[in-house]
Structure 1
Amino acid sequence: MAQGRTGAAASQTGIRIGLSAVIIALRNREAAVLTTHAPDGAPALPFGPFDPARDRTFELALRAFVAAQTGFPLGFVEQLYTFGDLGRASPRATPGPDQAREVSVGYLALTADAPDDPSFGASGRDAAWTPIFDIFPWEDWRRGRPALVERLGAALSAWAGDDAARRGRAESLFALSPNARWNEERVLERYELLYEAGLLAESARDHQRPTPPALGDLPMTSDHRRILATGVGRLRSKLKYRPVLFDLTPETFTLSELQAAAEAVAGLSLHKQNFRRGVERAGLVQPTGVFASDTGGRPAELFRHVRPEPGDGGAFGLSLPGQR
């Protein structure tokens, strides 16, 4: 499977360029992605065409159609990838006489402003915040190994049969063997393995196969779930070397709220004391002297993010000490 069409704009060279946006926010201590619906009714990332005769830059085109589709103004964005290989299996070729080759460009955006009011999605706009773990339920290890992973392990074992390479990939990616360690960053590889094994609805759709048993996951249109897997894996990796988590949090927060945010993105349960020591040792936060009274217990102090000074060396990410 491969990344594919996320919109289409024909050019004189026979190339169509589509732009997709992975927009992630935190809502109710859950990581969520902004979704719309494709013409077939399936959940989709905000996506649209790049018209070389009209649009000055990819990013300006992206910002314009995201605002038009969802009513949500984008803040900082970064490019995820540009993909234009021939022979992509998913989605199928663009209908029409030209059958133009397609190039897909994906962007990742983070926001601390996830509106939940009647005006959001109004005026004919189609937009909602969808929990990421509804789309990838096997990625949520905050309460330990999900029961779904055991089920997937059995299905992958049956698919692998005597093929040692297939079995090794499944055991490594899903931590199926006793000595295997779960690597939260390998979101895309796990999705691709499940697709290859025919365990996802997208695989059945793209290859005219019988629909596999339901996993309790949420399929998406075209290759949008693969694009989202790319974005989630990128974000989980960046947590460890850039202070990107603070792009998802409000201006002030308690350390418990910060830990919950890190867990919601990483899909891990983190050791409380070690997490706090790591945050404070890295100099990423400073106390405000103000205490929150709505914590359900003893008032907790609010902190704010301390941005590194220009020219500071080293990494400024978060340590993610898992529970043992």
Structure 2
Amino acid sequence: MNRAVQDQGVLIGLSVVVFALRDGEAVVLTTGGGPDGAGLPFGPFEPTRHRTFELALRDFVAEQTTFPLGYVEQLYTFGDAGRESPRAEMGVGARRVVSVGYLALTHDPSAVAGPGSAWTPVLEFFPWEDWRRGRPDMIDRLIAPALAAWAAGPDAAPRAARAERLFALKGGRWNEQQVLERYELLYEAGLTPEAVRDHGQSAPGAIPGRAMVSDHRRILATAIGRLRSKLKYRPVLFDLTPDTFTLSQLQAAAEAVSGLSLHKQNFRRGVERTGLVEPTGRLSAATGGRPAELYRYRGAEASGGGVTGLSLPGQR
């Protein structure tokens, strides 16, 4: 092994973002919850103990939360220098941790156990991402003034343009997939607890949003953006829904993940065009009003061997 690598003490860590839906909200499996915030399930890859990354991931998620992982896919490799304190150091003298992130979806957010393990609403970490009831008030009331103060410094013009584009400050289109870019902008501007923790940065106005340990909120933002993107070209929403559902429940699930308010009739027409669902011939009495027809996902063969997702026809 290269001597420089030995001296640096590089270790491989594994983290996973497990998404589910509960009571109409997108939730994520978290651990800890101490003074530095919650964390994602995270642990070391030990070559002498584990044959593959995925086996290691499944082992420590079960140990930390008792939750049995189903299907997982690799999300991203997070290896930037300076992944700041409190660093998830996993061995004596470890000074650099390269984290391989994974994404998992489940339709069964069953009870979990373990120190601080819980299903936590995703939008508690990113409240500005929730447009289901229209443009969040906090964008214009808190975020815009704080970013304006930050942009008044060096490189004012490109900073202001970046803020305007990402947060749609001047009537531009909101791109729901740019979750990571918005979080990184707030971090760079010193408007997140993690920036204060890592660099002692501060800026006028505190931006609400739960903190996370290490760079776990960045990993979570990456996963949300990836999932929102996949909604449009893969039938991933059905990995989060029960076996049968009403079209209203399916729309609520799409809104919970995308953070958007969707046009009811256009959404239904879009679902019907995909051919991904079929009626079961049964009605749901749990809608609180007129019984609604229950549907089910037809499976991968529904698109004739192709790959398709759901259109997201916004109200705006």
Q: TM-score, normalised by structure 1?
A: 0.89
Q: What does residue 275 of structure 2 align with?
A: 283
CA contact (8 A) 1:204 1:212 kept: no
Matched, 1:152 2:143: yes
Report matched runs for 1:23-172 at 5 Å.
23-37=18-32, 42-85=37-80, 87-91=81-85, 94=89, 98-116=93-111, 120-121=112-113, 124-150=114-140, 151-161=142-152, 163-172=156-165
Q: Map of 1:242-257 to 2, 5 A cutoff? A: 242-257=234-249
Q: CA RMSD in A?
A: 2.3
Q: Which moved more, 1:253-262 or 1:33-42?
A: 33-42
Give the C-alpha shift of residue 18 in structure 1. 0.7
Task: Decide whether aligned partners of structure 1 residues 143 and 310 sit closer, same or farther in structure 2, where only a CA change above 3 A counts.
Answer: closer
Work out whether residues 201 and 211 of structure 1, in 8 Å CA contact, stay in contact via their aligned partners in 2: no
Partner SS, residue 301 of structure 2: coil
Deviation of the 1:282 alpha carbon: 0.5
Contact 2:36 2:212 (8 Å CA) reproduced? no
Which amino acid is the alignment partner of residue 157 of structure 1?
A
1:309 aligns to what SS in structure 2? Answer: helix
Does residue 199 of the first structure (1) align with residue 199 of the second (2)? no
| Contact kept? 2:83, 2:215, Cα under 8 Å | no
CA contact (8 A) 2:76 2:102 kept: yes
Q: Is the 8 A contact 1:15 1:103 kept in 2?
A: yes
Q: Which residue of 1 aligns with 2:17?
A: 22
Instruction: Give, in angstroms, the shift of residue 314 of structure 1.
Output: 4.0
CA distance in 1, matches of 2:238, 2:315: 22
Check whether the contact 2:20–2:106 (CA below 8 A) recurs between aligned residues. yes
1:90 aligned partner, one-letter code? E
In structure 1, runs of 5+ residues without a counterpart are 1-9
1:153-175 alpha-carbon deviations (Å, 9 max, x no partner): 11111101161111111000000
Cα shift readout 1:91-111 (whole Å, capped 9, x = no counterpart) = 466598744432110000000
**Separation in 1 of the partners of 2:298 and 2:263?**
22
Deviation, structure 1 residue 13: 8.3
Rounded Cα–Cα distance in structure 1 between residues aligned with 2:207 and 2:282 = 45
Q: Structure 1: how far apart are the matches of 2:192 and 2:270?
A: 38
Which shows bigger deviation, 92-101 or 24-33?
92-101
1:184 aligns to what SS in structure 2? coil
Instruction: Summarize deviations over 1:159-199 as a string: whole Å, max 9, x none.
Output: 01161111111000000012x10000000000000000000
The match for 1:300 is 292
Where is the helix percentage greater, Structure 1 or Structure 2? 2
Q: Residue type of the partner of 2:124?
A: D
Find the counterpart in structure 2 of residue 7 from structure 1. none
Alignment of 1:203-214 (within 5 A): 203-210=195-202, 213-214=205-206
Match of 1:6 in 2: none
Query: In the comparison of the two structures, how many residue pairs are matched?
Result: 308
1:214–1:80 Cα change, 3 Å: same
Q: What TM-score does the superposition give when structure 2 sets the normalisation length?
A: 0.91
